[in-house]
Chains A and B, each alone.
Chain A
């Protein structure tokens, strides 16, 4: 028998890859700018992330050298554009460990990705496994972004199905106690955020997915706030669909992703009709291309896809485990720092465990709008309002919140600037 000497400290973290945040910052031209005479402290990456030069350059280079339409040209630049577009798809597929690039559908954003599923379900022939009818149920959660609430409300209205939801505990976690009752034989779909855009909570997957699959329901994850910040492996997660959006992960606006298990996408009816999504068209009827083309009617956002591919390359070069670790350390620091601000109430988990770098809070007696405005006057950019997630604000009894959200370029000095800015806010409103 051998004895193992356990070293001091936290050796389990020794192997975590890290990066030099100053080197990373140098890749983001905008981080050098000033706001109202102060160096910009950008703490709104949950809203949209900044873009590294690598992404900006890739898009410019594509437009300057390779622009053509995709999938419908025999000429050289058309071929190059097609290769670039499909190459981006392959990069994204690999980034999320999809089994084939055919599982990656490019959309306009996460919102559209969720809507594609909702409309494909309502376009499904009665009796198909995607079709909903009165008596069926869809389960979401109280911490969803409006993009993962409204499409399901509308689907329920169209089909007569019923919308139900997980509630959220005071600590900012999904209340899974009623899992068995909530997800039952009537449930057709469970859709919720992998990471909350308000509370920062990382939600559990395996228990919910196991229960959903046990009763024959599909599982969709809104991974908009997950894919940019941590390694996401769709095969490992075992869910059926995920949605995310390019602009929150160093990519451009105008491109999002729907990932779906291939056998499901292959069976789902199309949503938008038009060019590129067909197999053959006659005046009477059409047949449709296999996925992903079936769900990409019309000329897609080609340059944006190239930008997203470059973003994925960038993130991969940093290593998503390093990104995750960087944000975990920042979050731990920020939770401690914000705890020193008098009158500050944090919404969501108050330990850096099972949560990401998104911190929403209220400052006693000062409306978030005013907080945001005064922070802006000293260069600190945060989001204020209901964050497109009004139900969770109501859950905590507030009309709005102030949110600081971090990313791979955020520094502890920026967290300090936030805390100093909050001092300023208190002075004005004292």
Chain B
């Protein structure tokens, strides 16, 4: 049954037992995003020294997809070097925009691969993306630049190269559902 692809165990697990939920101090940037069509909400805070994200805390209200997505984001990005974190964001956004045609990179996306099935449900893509878009905003408000993430080296390469020094900020593709 197709619905199982949407509601993977991993997603339900993150929904029922969210990781790192709750807004924490200190933080440098915060963003609150709302999905106006359904009322899902998420607030993301990032704590960063500019080189990595030492904490990503969040709170929200909404469906299993949006809330599990926030939990996965927290798990994947907390502690990461900023450039690397943005590569993960790009990978996730690409997966969500792929209408189910993109093969997810498990090394890059970890539990995020569970959302591959969501990409087949256009109405739910924006639920999955909600925390990720809020994260990008929060990071921008913390003064962290998503430095040319798509030209960055693969995740297995040393994470020293992409950094704040690169001036050209590159926007991740907008995905609309």
A interface, CB within 8 angstroms of B:
36, 366-370, 373-374, 377, 384-386, 390, 393, 399-400, 428-429
Contacts and interface: CB of A to CB of B under 8 A. Distances in A.
Nearest to B38: A385
B121 A373 contact: yes
Contacts of B65: 369-370
B41 A399 contact: yes
A61 B63 CA distance: 45
Given A368-B38, A369-B62, A428-B7, 16 more contacts: A366-B64, A367-B63, A368-B63, A369-B38, A369-B64, A370-B64, A370-B65, A373-B7, A374-B3, A374-B7, A384-B38, A386-B38, A399-B38, A399-B39, A399-B41, A399-B62
A252 B21 CA distance: 46
B39 A390 contact: yes
Interface of A is mostly: helix
A82 to B, nearest CB: 40
B12 A369 contact: no
Q: Which of B1, B64, B124 has the most CB of A within 10 A?
A: B64
Contacts of A368: 38, 63
A377 B38 contact: no
Contacts of A428: 7, 12
B129 to A, nearest CB: 14
Interface string B123-149: 010010000000000000000000000
Contact of A369 (B2, B3, B124): B124
Interface string B59-86: 0011111010000000000000000000
Contacts of B127: 369
B64 A367 contact: yes
B165 interface: no
Nearest to B62: A367
Interface in B80-124: 121, 124
A123 to B, nearest CB: 30
Contacts of A377: 1-3
A386 B39 CA distance: 7
Nearest to A369: B63
A426 to B, nearest CB: 13
Contacts of A369: 38, 40, 62-65, 124, 127
A368 B2 CA distance: 19
A352 B25 CA distance: 51
A400 B38 contact: yes
Given A400-B38, A429-B64, A373 B6 contact: yes
Contacts of B67: 367
B2 A393 contact: no
B2 A36 contact: yes
